[in-house]
Amino acid sequence: MGLGTSWDSASKVFPRLIWFPTSLLGSWKIGSVWKSIDERLLPIEKSYARAFHALVEDSLRWVLVYQRGRDNKWFASEQGFLPLLHGVKKFAFKNFFCERIRKKIQTMVHAQGMGRNTPEEVLILAKKDLNAMSMFLGNKRFFFGDKPVTLDCDMFAFLSQFLYTPLVQPEIKTYMEEHCQNLVKFVERMKESYWPDWEEATKNRSMDSKWKK
């Protein structure tokens, strides 16, 4: 999500919400006033949020990138970005650029360290991360109660990809569905609450999400 990306509120309670991840982390613009969605958290809760944010960014994120570095052919398929391209661009992306992107990702993952692990080791790391998240979420609607905070956005961004996009290691999705069902329900809850037009938007590969009335 780039600078200035905006959406209308699903509930219509707020006239406009704008997310500025690069300049005002964890802040929403409600009308003309900036509000931190984390301001209600207690100091100890902010410490937990910071720890789990690091877990997502520095571990689970690289498990996901590892998948793309090993096989990203679906990028150049009808399930991926191919329907958005036409003519020469479509041919070039499918036959040249997709593999070039994969190699760059593979190099990046190797430099970071995750790529030096065997697939079995990556799977073990993924399971440990998911178990920790599942244990902390417990029976709560969101990670810190009934309303989402920045950490919920972080979690949704990555967990949804493990559930909804092709993986080299589908065992990760299977593990989530069988052993971390509260994480699956969390993703579904976030999707239904904030992207009620999810199916339509993903089908059309649209970043311009329109709230259904």
**Please, are residues 161 and 183 in contact by the beta-carbon 8 Å criterion?**
no
Give residue 139's pLDDT: 97
95 pLDDT band, cuts 50/70/90, is confident
**Cα–Cα distance, 55 to 73 (Å, whole number):** 28
First-residue to last-residue Cα distance in the chain: 24
* 135-153 pLDDT per residue, tens: 999 999 999 999 999 999 9
CATH of region 41-204: 1.20.1050
Residue identified by tokens 């006033």 is 33
Q: Residue 24: left if φ>0, alpha if ψ -120 to 50, beta else—which one? A: beta
Amino acid letter for position 151: L
Mean pLDDT, rounded, for 155-161 = 95
Q: Which has more pLDDT, 194 or 188?
A: 188
